[in-house]
Amino acid sequence: MSVLVVVECDGGEVKKSSLEVASYGSQVAQMLGTTATAVAVGEATEANLAKLGEQGITKVLHDAEPRLKDFVNGAYTKLIAAAAQKEDAKVIVLANSNIGASVGSRLSVRLQASIATNVVELPKTDGGSFTVKRGAFSGKAFADVKLDGDRKIIAVKKNSIEALHEAGKTAQVEAFSAQLTDADFADAPKQVVMQDQAGGILLPEADKVVSGGRGMKGPENWNLIEDLAKALGAATACSKPVSDVDWRPHHEHVGQTGITVSPNLYIACGISGAIQHLAGVNSSKVIVVINKDPEAPFFKAADYGIVGDVFDVLPKLTQAVKELN
Amino acid sequence: MKFLVCISNVPDTTTKITFTPDNKEFNKAGVQFVINPWDEYALTRAIELKEAQGGGTVTVLNVGEADTEPNIRKALAIGADDAIRVNAHPKDAFFVAQQIASIAKDGGYDVILMGKESIDYNGFQVHGMVGELLNIPTVAPAMKLDMSGNTATLEREIEGGKEIVEVNTPFVASCQQPMCEPRIPNMRGIMTARTKPLKVVEPTADAARTEVSSYALPPAKQGVKLIPAENAGELIKLLRNEAKVI
Ligand SMILES: Cc1cc2nc3c(=O)[nH]c(=O)nc-3n(C[C@H](O)[C@H](O)[C@H](O)COP(=O)(O)OP(=O)(O)OC[C@H]3O[C@@H](n4cnc5c(N)ncnc54)[C@H](O)[C@@H]3O)c2cc1C
């Protein structure tokens, strides 16, 4: 019996969200009196995989098949299922990412497991039951969900679990083959197009986000957003109307019908704070709102606020960050 | 080509969420229900593809009790040809996926579309479960869908980018923006929707694997701390020394 964690890697590195997943998995293993094994997907180096020991992982299974570099649903699902069988995994933990949800939902059927996505806390296991807390109603509520059966799959929401860092501990990296064949790569991508993100920080993984709304007046003013983001090491985002009129690309649109982010810091500039926008950002740890209208609804959801003109305030903030560094 | 579009019935996006006194269920009192916004992308794209192909059918499917019928009629008014309602409370994602898979199999559908996730449960699971139950490919979440013969070209969003994927029918895709501009019903659509077929079937007797034991609202914010615009730089100091986020 063991806990299996799925770690997503990119360009040799383990993604930040997967360090959280690994930490979640090793803590669950401890609760259940067992150990946590990881299985790697994407492009990984052995040295970086061994470092997963710092997150409490004892062993990492690594299939060196080069076609696993890009996300292929068929192949990833088979690889993880094979690892779960080998390790007799009772709990499988993955990131609540596009990859995690695509693979996790298929695995739940294949392995006859119960599944919860969008999970924000470690499970409660009193009295033989297994309950996890997950986000629901687009960030407006939480649900405690009881997972039945003796196999469970948990997809952990980004930035909701603190990653462990036990310096010096290493995991044993073990070569593993899931015997993947061409048929498993039938849905392999013909092409992969990566976005050009400001400062190279991807919005879904970002710790800090600077976001602009219609109050920015036009795309020509986005340098103000980008300058502050750059100074802070933040990703940039926008409200829906901004991407609808193509001031900014669609992948920056956050909210109910865009992506959900939960960074440590979300700075909203010239965004009114409509309920559909809040749905995508309200689990951010600290929210800062800059708006010239003191009645803007966003102030009710904010931790810090400045009632003022973005064109005046943003350059001052950027300057202050530069002075601080 | 036969399209099957799965829709769910969800509280309007502006709904203030509350629960029954025992916190076991969502409080539906006074709430307006709509077609899940993500499902609107699936529905409109299916109709557009059918129109481009000059033939075929778009069937909408909902797993829900009779109170979902107004939104099923709305989907028919937007342009679906017929509808099926599986008469059951949607217990969990696996329960719903089994109903969809069973109908998709019996009906011989070529393309099964749905929204990325429902905005109430936010599961983002049904697509993969249906694909696995039917042993066919799934593409999730899809931002673009084009068909040429039996081959579909899709853009799948991945963190930080997109993949261009080709799959043959039958397949499942879960849809999101900017796939299309969701249509709204026009007068003629509303008139014809009344007489389009809506079949009600009973669920295949299968169990759920998860159960919500209770709901909770997030803790209320402490209240906003305002910094005068003249001292904007002060905010940065607070973010470092007080909030400790930079
Ligand atoms: C089904 C549905 C789904 C939706 N999904 C989303 C979603 O996912 N994401 C999303 O963002 N929206 C979504 N919306 C739209 C949402 O309701 C709002 O319309 C939208 O968020 C408003 O964007 P905004 O705040 O940028 O613009 P506005 O509401 O126009 O607000 C602009 C703000 O800028 C301020 N401002 C103007 N000039 C300045 C200045 N010089 N300095 C400082 N402040 C200034 C104004 O006071 C105002 O508060 C959805 C709507 C629906 C119906």
Contact B235 A265 (CB under 8 A): no
Whether residue A199 has pLDDT greater than 70: no
Most ligand 1 atoms within 8 A of CB, residue of A239, A242, A288 to mutate: A239
The CATH number given to A198-324 is 3.40.50.1220
CA distance A5 to chain B (A): 18
CA distance B195 to chain A (A): 32
CA distance A48 to chain B (A): 20
Asked if the C-beta of B127 comes within 8 angstroms of chain A's C-beta atoms, the answer is yes
Burial of A323 from C-beta contacts in 10 A (0-12 / 13-18 / 19+): exposed
For A259-267, what is the mean pLDDT? 94
Residue A198's pLDDT is: 53
Please report the atom of ligand 1 found closest to the CA of residue A290. Answer: 43
Whether residue B93 has pLDDT greater than 70: yes
Asked if the C-beta of B12 comes within 8 angstroms of chain A's C-beta atoms, the answer is no
Rounded-to-integer distance, Cα A109 and Cα A113, Å: 7
Whether residue B30 has pLDDT greater than 60: yes
In chain A, what percentage of residues exceed pLDDT 90? 89
Rounded (10°) angle between helices B232-241 and A310-324:
50
Q: Residue A239 C-alpha to ligand 1 middle, in angstroms?
A: 6
Residue A271 annotated in ligand binding = yes
CATH topology of domain A2-185: Rossmann fold (3.40.50)
Residue A139's pLDDT is: 87
Alpha-carbon distances of A188 from A75, A185, B228, rounded to whole Å: 9, 5, 53
Please report the atom of ligand 1 found closest to the CA of residue A242. Answer: 26
Work out the pLDDT band at A204, boundaries 50, 70, 90. confident
Contact A320 B238 (CB under 8 A): no
Work out the pLDDT band at B148, boundaries 50, 70, 90. very high
Q: Residue B54 C-alpha to ligand 1 middle, in angstroms?
A: 39
Dump the DSSP string for B48-95. HHHHHHT--EEEEEEEE-GGGHHHHHHHHHHT-SEEEEEES---SHHH
CA distance B122 to chain A (A): 6
Residues B216-240 have pLDDT tens digits of 999 888 899 999 999 999 999 999 9
In this prediction the ipTM stands at: 0.95
Residues 173-192 in B contacting A (C-alpha not used; CB under 8 Å): 176-178
* Count of other CB atoms within 10 angstroms of residue B38: 26
CATH topology match: A2-185 vs A198-324: yes
Contact A205 B166 (CB under 8 A): no
Whether residue A214 has pLDDT greater than 80: yes
Mean pLDDT of chain B: 96
Residues A115-168 have pLDDT tens digits of 999 999 999 998 889 999 999 998 889 999 999 999 999 999 999 999 999 999
Asked if the C-beta of B170 comes within 8 angstroms of chain A's C-beta atoms, the answer is no
Residues B170-221 have pLDDT tens digits of 999 999 988 999 999 999 999 999 999 999 999 997 789 999 999 999 988 8
More reliable by pLDDT, A197 or A291: A291
Burial of A264 from C-beta contacts in 10 A (0-12 / 13-18 / 19+): middle
Residue A270 annotated in ligand binding = yes
Residue A272 annotated in ligand binding = yes
Residue with the smallest CA separation from ligand 1 atom 9 is: A255
Contact B94 A108 (CB under 8 A): yes
Domain ranges of chain A: 2-185, 198-324
Q: Residue A138 C-alpha to ligand 1 middle, in angstroms?
A: 17
The residue with tokens 């909210």 is: A255
3-state SS of chain A is: CEEEEEEEEEEEEECHHHHHHHHHHHHHHHHHCCCEEEEEEEEECHHHHHHHHHHCCCEEEECCCHHHHCCCHHHHHHHHHHHHHHHCEEEEEEECCHHHHHHHHHHHHHCCCEEEEEECCCCECHHHCCEEEEEECCCCEEEEEEECCCCEEEEECCCCCCCCCCCCCCCEEEECCCCCCHHHHCCCCCEEEECCCHHHCCHHHCCEEEEECHHHCCHHHHHHHHHHHHHHCCEEEECHHHHHCCCCCHHHEECCCCECCCCCEEEEECCCCCHHHHHHHCCCCEEEEEECCCCCHHHHHCCEEEECCHHHHHHHHHHHHHHHC
Contact B160 A194 (CB under 8 A): yes
Q: Which residues line ligand 1 (CB under 6 A)?
A: A 213-215, 239-242, 255-258, 270-272, 274, 276-277, 280, 291-293, 296, 309-311; B 13, 37
Residue with the smallest CA separation from ligand 1 atom 50 is: A276
Q: Residue A241 C-alpha to ligand 1 middle, in angstroms?
A: 7
Rounded (10°) angle between helices B126-134 and A98-110:
40
Residue A205's pLDDT is: 83
Q: Residue A296 C-alpha to ligand 1 middle, in angstroms?
A: 10
CA distance B16 to chain A (A): 8
Residue A280's pLDDT is: 93
Structural domains of chain B sorted by starting position, each given as residue range(s) with its CATH number in brackets: 2-215 (3.40.50.620)
Rounded-to-integer distance, Cα B226 and Cα B231, Å: 11
Residues in chain A with CB shorter than 8 Å from the CB of B232 are 306, 308, 312-313, 316-317, 320
Contact B243 A304 (CB under 8 A): yes
Mention every residue, 6+ apart, whose C-beta is less than 8 A from residue A319.
B233
Residues A229-242 have pLDDT tens digits of 999 999 999 999 99
By CA distance, what is A110's nearest residue in B? B132
